[in-house]
Chain A
Amino acid sequence: MGCLKTIGRRAFLVGSAAVVGGVAFGFYLYKKPVENPLLADLDAGEAALTPYVKIDAEGVTLITPRADKGQGAYSVQAAMIAEELDVELDQIRVDPGVPSPAYWNRALADEAVPFAATDQGAIATAARGTVGAVMKVMGMQVTGGSSTVADGYEKLRIAGAVARETLKAAAAQKTGVDVARLRTQGGAVILPDDTEIPYQDLATEASQIKPVAEVSLRQPEQWRLIGKPMLRVDTVAKSTGTLDYGIDAKLDGMVHAAVVLNPRQGGALDSFDASAAQDMRGVKKIVPVTGGVGVIADNTWRAFQAAAAVECDWGPAVFAPEMADHWAALEQAFETDPDSQGRDDGDVSNALGDAPLTAEYRAPYLAHAPLEPINAVVLVSEGRVDVWTGTQVPRFTQNNVAAIAGVEPDQVHVHGQMMGGSFGHRLEDEVARRCTELAMEMKGIPVKLTFSREQDFGHDYLRPAAIARMRGAVSEGRVKTLDLAVSAPSVLASQMAERQGLAMPGPDSSISQALWDQPYGIENYRITAHRAQNMAPVSSWRSVGASQNAFFHEGFLSELITAAGGDQLEQRIALCTDDVSRRVLQTVGEMSEWGRDLGPDRGRGVAFCMSFGTPVAEVVEVTNTPDGIRIDNVFVATDVGRVIDPVNFENLVQGGVVFGLGHAMNCEITIADGGIEQTNFHEYEGLRMYQCPRITVQSLEHNSHIRGIGEPPVPPAAPALASAIFDATGVRLREMPFNKFVDFV
C-alpha cells in the first residue's frame, strides 16, 4: 500500500518532541520531552523535531503509532494531526513508525487503576497520573483498551500545531515576511500575496530552527476535519484489493512456512517423523519449534500439506483436559478468598432476607478468530532481525524476537502491518516468535509463516469462560439489593505475566471489569471477584471482562426489575447515578420509542454497560417466528465526548453490536483432551448477513472526557438480546451461546 511506504534516509523531519501538555490559558507548554525515535535515521543537515510528523521530498507523512486492526486507527490519528497541521487526508501518507517509548499510551492508565471512570475525585485522578507515569517509563506502546482517541486527542493535535507553527517560522525566515502575516492551508504556508510554499519546500529551513515551543489549539468551531464525515485513508485500497496486509507481504527470495502445534495447547512435542513430509514437492526444511513442528516450503499450500503429513508424538495436556474440569475450576474458585471486592454498599447480607432471588449465569470460552489468520515475516541477517507483522504490542514483540534470535532489542526492526481484524489476538505475538524460530534456520532468507485457520483456532488465547452467582431482593417495586460474585481466570496473569513476563501483582481488574464500577445506585450492592486456576490460557477479547460481565450483571438486573414489576428502562434510569449515562439511557428510549406497542409475538430488551469509560445503552427488538427468533432492530446510544469521524464511528458501533450478538447467539470454544475442539468457521459461525438487524446509532457529546468506541458497543448486546427474547417468549437465557436454548432465524 502506497501510504504505508517506509521512509528512507533522505527524509526531512519537522515538528517538536513534546508529548506531555500542560494547560495554561489555552496554551500548551512543553514538559520533559521523550526521545524522538525518528532521530535515529538522519543524515547531516536533517532534523527531527516531533515523533509524529515527517516531511520529505514526496510530501508529508504522519506517524500513527496505534495499530490499525480495521478500526480506522490510522485515519483517526492522522485526522487529529492534520486538523492542526492544515493538510488534507488525501495529501498525506500514514506510517505506523517504529517501536519506541515515545509512543507510550497514557490512556491505558485509566483502565489500570481501581477507580471507576465516573470517579473524577482527587485520589482517582492522582492515581491515573501515577500509573500513567509508570506506563511512560515502561514505554507501553500498546494499542488496546479503546484508548487510541483518548490518548491522542490532545497530543496528536499538539504535534500537528507545533509542526505547523515551526513551518510558519521557517517560512518567515526564508521570505522575511512577519510570521503573524502567514497562514497555512492545504499543506502549504501562504504568504500575504497568496503565494503558496508547500511544506516540503520548507523542510530544510524548518529543520534548522528551534521548534516553536508554545502553541494554542484551535477551538472545536474552527475545525475542518474533526466531527465531520471523512474518507478513511484505507477505504479505496480496501475496496479495490490493493491494500497489502501482513499476510500479503512479498519480499525477494521469500519462502513460505506452516506449523503444526500440539493440539493440547501449550503442550510439548515429544518426537516427530518427517520422512513422509520431507520428500513432498516444494519442501525445503522441516524443523522443530516450540510446541510443534515447522515446515518451510516454496508455497503456503505446500507447507500446509507437508505440515499435515508430519507424524508427531505430543506431550500431555498442560491444563485441565476436559471442559467439565474447567467449569469445575470456576465453581471451586467461589470457595476461595476473593481476588477483589470492588463494591460493598449498604448491608447486603441483611437486606437479602430469607428468600432472595438467585441465579447462576455462564459464559463460554471464545476465540478471537480475525478473518486474516495470524502471520508474520521474519528475516534474520547478520546483526539484525526484521519482522513484518500486524501487532498491537510492537515493543513486546521486539523484545521477544530479540531473545529468540540472540540479539539486542534495538537490533530488531518491527515493521507494523495493517491487520485483517484482531479483536485482541494481535495483543499476542506467538506467530512472530514461531516465525523467528524458523527464520533462524534460514538466515538471510525472509520466512513468511501463515497459521492455517485450523492452527489459528486451535492455538488461540481465549476469552475467559466465566460463571456468576447472583442474589437479589426487591421491595416496593424497586431493586433494593444486588449481590454478584463472579469467577473467571485471570487475563493479566495469563497474557501479561505468563506470556510477556511482566509482573502483575494484586487483583486482576479484568475479572470484575464493568461490574463494580457501573453507575447504579442500588442500596445494597456487592461485587465480589474470584480468580479461577488451572484453566486454558486466556487473553483480551474485544471488551475483555465486560464482554461476559455485562451479560451477567444486566441479565440478572433485568430479572430483578421483572420481579419488582418495574419497567426495564425506567428502573435503570432511576437507578443511574451518572448524568452522562442517564442521558444515554433516556436517548435510547427516545430512539426506540420505548413503550410503543410492538404487535404480537414481539419483544424488546434494554441493557446498559459502561466499559473503558464509555456508557452504551442498547435496545434490541425481536420477533418470535414459528421457526425461531428473528432480531429486527437494535438502537444504540452512547457518549464518547467527541466523535472524530461520524462515518467510521457508526460503522464501529454497528460492528460491535454484530460482534456482541453473533457470539452470544452461536459461538463457544470447548476443550477436550487438553485442546480446543472447534477448528473452523463452520463450528464458530458468528452472525451472517441474513440475521443482521437494522442498527440505529446516536452519539451524544456531553461526556467531559474523550473516550473510545472500539469495544464498548459489544457488552450490552448479549443481555439486551436475552431480555428481548424473554419479553417475546418468556424464556430466560442465563447461559451463552443462546442457540443451545432457542433457535434463530
Chain B
Amino acid sequence: MKLTVNGAEHSVDVEPEMPLLWVLRDELGITGPKYGCGIAQCGACTVHIDGMAVRSCSVEVGAVDGEVTTIEGLGTPESLHAVQAAWIEHQVAQCGYCQSGQIMAAASFLEMNSEPTDEDIDAAMSANLCRCGTYPRIRAAVKTAAAKLNGA
C-alpha cells in the first residue's frame, strides 16, 4: 500500500491492521514517533494525519487516509517549527522521550486554537504523559509558541 510521510510517498508491504507507529518505525526507519504504551495512553507516538494529531500506536495503517507528518517533517534543527523553537527556548526536555509527541500535539492544538487560555492548554496537553515532569516548561513553551505563531 501507499503511504505519504513528510511529503514523500512510500510503498509498504504490511498487514493493514499493523499500527501506523510500527510501519513508521520498523518499516520506514522514521523513529521520531516513540513507542510508550501501545494503547493511546501516553501520546509519545503522536503524529499528524492531514494536520490532525493522532496516536499512531492506535491507528491501523490501512485506515490512514491522508498525509502523515511526523516530528521530523514538522521542522528540522536547521529549520525549526515555531513550537520546536519554543521547546528549545524553554529547554523543556529532560529525557525527551515524550517530547516528539508533546510537540506534535501542541502544534496541532495551536492550529485549531491560536489564542489558548491556560485552561485550554492544560486540557489539550493533559493527554500526553511526561514521566520526567516537564509540565511547567511545556506550559510556558506552548504560550511562547502561540505568541510566535500569532506574530507577536
Q: Which of A240, A648, A652 has the most CB of B within 10 A?
A: A240
Q: Is the CB of B133 within 8 A of A238?
A: no
When A232-B91, A301-B18 are in contact, do A372 and B99 touch as well, CB less than 8 Å? no
Q: Is the CB of A240 within 8 A of B77?
A: yes
Give the complex CA separation of A647 and B89 in angstroms: 11
- List residues of B (43-82) whose CB comes within 8 Å of A's CBs: 44, 70-72, 74-77, 80
| Minimum Cβ distance to chain A for residue B149 (Å) | 16
Whether a CB of chain B sits under 8 angstroms from the CB of A30 is no
Whether a CB of chain B sits under 8 angstroms from the CB of A735 is no
Give the complex CA separation of A387 and B75 in angstroms: 32
| Minimum Cβ distance to chain A for residue B15 (Å) | 7
Q: Which of B70, B92, B133 has the most CB of A within 10 A?
A: B133
- 1/0 contact string of B21-63 vs chain A (CB within 8 Å): 1100111010111111111011010000000000000000000
Whether a CB of chain A sits under 8 angstroms from the CB of B146 is no
For A327, the chain B residues whose CB sits under 8 A away are none
Give the complex CA separation of A652 and B70 in angstroms: 28
Q: Is the CB of B96 within 8 A of A647?
A: no
> Interface segment, A477-485, A577-585, A657-665, A669-677?
A657-665
| Minimum Cβ distance to chain B for residue A254 (Å) | 10
For A145, the chain B residues whose CB sits under 8 A away are none
Whether a CB of chain B sits under 8 angstroms from the CB of A654 is yes
Q: Is the CB of B22 within 8 A of A301?
A: yes
Whether a CB of chain A sits under 8 angstroms from the CB of B88 is yes
For B77, the chain A residues whose CB sits under 8 A away are 236-237, 240, 242
Q: Which residue of B lies closest to A70 (CB)?
A: B95
Give the complex CA separation of A72 and B132 in angstroms: 12
Give the complex CA separation of A467 and B89 in angstroms: 44
Partner of B129, one of A72, A239, A657, A688: A688
| Minimum Cβ distance to chain A for residue B76 (Å) | 6
Partner of B136, one of A239, A372, A692: A692
| Minimum Cβ distance to chain A for residue B82 (Å) | 12
Whether a CB of chain B sits under 8 angstroms from the CB of A453 is yes
- 1/0 contact string of A337-379 vs chain B (CB within 8 Å): 0000000000000000000000000000000011111000000
For A243, the chain B residues whose CB sits under 8 A away are 96
Q: Which residue of A lies closest to B83 (CB)?
A: A239
When A299-B27, A654-B133 are in contact, do A240 and B84 touch as well, CB less than 8 Å? yes
When A423-B131, A681-B129, A689-B138 are in contact, do A239 and B27 touch as well, CB less than 8 Å? no
Give the complex CA separation of A241 and B33 in angstroms: 7
For A242, the chain B residues whose CB sits under 8 A away are 32, 72, 76-77
Q: Is the CB of A238 within 8 A of B99?
A: yes
When A371-B36, A421-B132, A681-B42 are in contact, do A301 and B96 touch as well, CB less than 8 Å? no
Whether a CB of chain B sits under 8 angstroms from the CB of A235 is yes
When A371-B95, A655-B132, A681-B41 are in contact, do A420 and B34 touch as well, CB less than 8 Å? yes
- List residues of A (6-42) whose CB comes within 8 Å of B's CBs: none
- List residues of A (287-307) whose CB comes within 8 Å of B's CBs: 298-302, 304
For A419, the chain B residues whose CB sits under 8 A away are 95
Q: Is the CB of A686 within 8 A of B29?
A: no
When A231-B91, A452-B38 are in contact, do A256 and B136 touch as well, CB less than 8 Å? no
When A240-B72, A682-B39, A689-B122 are in contact, do A372 and B97 touch as well, CB less than 8 Å? yes
Q: Which residue of A lies closest to B135 (CB)?
A: A692
| Minimum Cβ distance to chain B for residue A659 (Å) | 5
- List residues of B (1-33) whose CB comes within 8 Å of A's CBs: 14-15, 18-19, 21-22, 25-27, 29, 31-33
Whether a CB of chain B sits under 8 angstroms from the CB of A247 is yes
Whether a CB of chain B sits under 8 angstroms from the CB of A632 is no
Q: Is the CB of B32 within 8 A of A241?
A: yes
For B136, the chain A residues whose CB sits under 8 A away are 654, 692, 694-695
When A369-B131, A689-B128, A689-B138 are in contact, do A247 and B34 touch as well, CB less than 8 Å? yes
Q: Is the CB of B91 within 8 A of A648?
A: yes
| Minimum Cβ distance to chain B for residue A628 (Å) | 16
Whether a CB of chain B sits under 8 angstroms from the CB of A269 is no
For B114, the chain A residues whose CB sits under 8 A away are none
Q: Is the CB of B132 within 8 A of A450?
A: no
For A238, the chain B residues whose CB sits under 8 A away are 93, 96, 99
When A371-B129, A655-B94 are in contact, do A239 and B88 touch as well, CB less than 8 Å? yes
Give the complex CA separation of A656 and B136 in angstroms: 12
Give the complex CA separation of A647 and B90 in angstroms: 9
Q: Is the CB of A680 within 8 A of B94?
A: no
When A247-B34, A655-B94 are in contact, do A370 and B100 touch as well, CB less than 8 Å? no
Whether a CB of chain B sits under 8 angstroms from the CB of A332 is no
For A692, the chain B residues whose CB sits under 8 A away are 122, 133, 135-136, 139
For A298, the chain B residues whose CB sits under 8 A away are 26
Q: Is the CB of A690 within 8 A of B35?
A: no
Number of interface residues of A (CB under 8 A): 65
Q: Is the CB of B103 within 8 A of A682?
A: no
For A570, the chain B residues whose CB sits under 8 A away are none
Give the complex CA separation of A70 and B125 in angstroms: 21
- 1/0 contact string of B114-141 vs chain A (CB within 8 Å): 0000000111011011111111111100
Whether a CB of chain A sits under 8 angstroms from the CB of B110 is no
| Minimum Cβ distance to chain A for residue B133 (Å) | 3
When A231-B91, A370-B95, A658-B135 are in contact, do A241 and B72 touch as well, CB less than 8 Å? yes
Partner of A680, one of B32, B39, B133: B39
Whether a CB of chain B sits under 8 angstroms from the CB of A71 is yes
Whether a CB of chain B sits under 8 angstroms from the CB of A651 is yes
When A301-B22, A423-B131, A689-B125 are in contact, do A651 and B32 touch as well, CB less than 8 Å? no
Q: Which of B22, B31, B132, B134 has the most CB of A within 10 A?
A: B132
Give the complex CA separation of A304 and B18 in angstroms: 11
Q: Which residue of A lies closest to B86 (CB)?
A: A239
Q: Which residue of B lies closest to A237 (CB)?
A: B77
For B126, the chain A residues whose CB sits under 8 A away are 688-690
- 1/0 contact string of A224-252 vs chain B (CB within 8 Å): 00000001101111111111110110100
For A370, the chain B residues whose CB sits under 8 A away are 95, 97, 131
For B138, the chain A residues whose CB sits under 8 A away are 689
| Minimum Cβ distance to chain B for residue A424 (Å) | 12
Q: Is the CB of A250 within 8 A of B29?
A: yes
Whether a CB of chain B sits under 8 angstroms from the CB of A687 is yes
Q: Which residue of B lies closest to A423 (CB)?
A: B131
Give the complex CA separation of A420 and B93 in angstroms: 10
Whether a CB of chain B sits under 8 angstroms from the CB of A413 is no
Partner of B26, one of A299, A648, A654, A662: A299
For B93, the chain A residues whose CB sits under 8 A away are 70, 232, 234-235, 238-239
- 1/0 contact string of A634-670 vs chain B (CB within 8 Å): 0000000000000110011011111100100000000
Partner of B94, one of A72, A231, A452, A454: A72
Q: Which residue of B lies closest to A682 (CB)?
A: B41
- List residues of A (104-137) whose CB comes within 8 Å of B's CBs: none
Whether a CB of chain B sits under 8 angstroms from the CB of A553 is no
For A248, the chain B residues whose CB sits under 8 A away are 25, 31
Whether a CB of chain B sits under 8 angstroms from the CB of A210 is no
| Minimum Cβ distance to chain B for residue A493 (Å) | 27
- A239-B96, A241-B31 are known contacts; what are 4 more A-B pairs with Cβ within 8 Å? A240-B71, A240-B84, A371-B34, A371-B131
Q: Which 5 A-B pairs have the closest CB atoms?
A: A70-B95, A241-B32, A658-B133, A420-B97, A238-B96
List chain B positions with a Cβ less than 8 A from chain A. Answer: 14-15, 18-19, 21-22, 25-27, 29, 31-39, 41-42, 44, 70-72, 74-77, 80, 84, 87-88, 91-100, 103, 121-123, 125-126, 128-139
* Sample (22) of A-B pairs whose CB atoms are under 8 Å apart: A70-B97, A232-B91, A234-B93, A234-B96, A237-B77, A239-B87, A239-B99, A241-B71, A241-B74, A242-B76, A242-B77, A247-B35, A250-B31, A369-B131, A372-B97, A373-B35, A420-B97, A421-B131, A453-B38, A656-B133, A687-B133, A689-B138
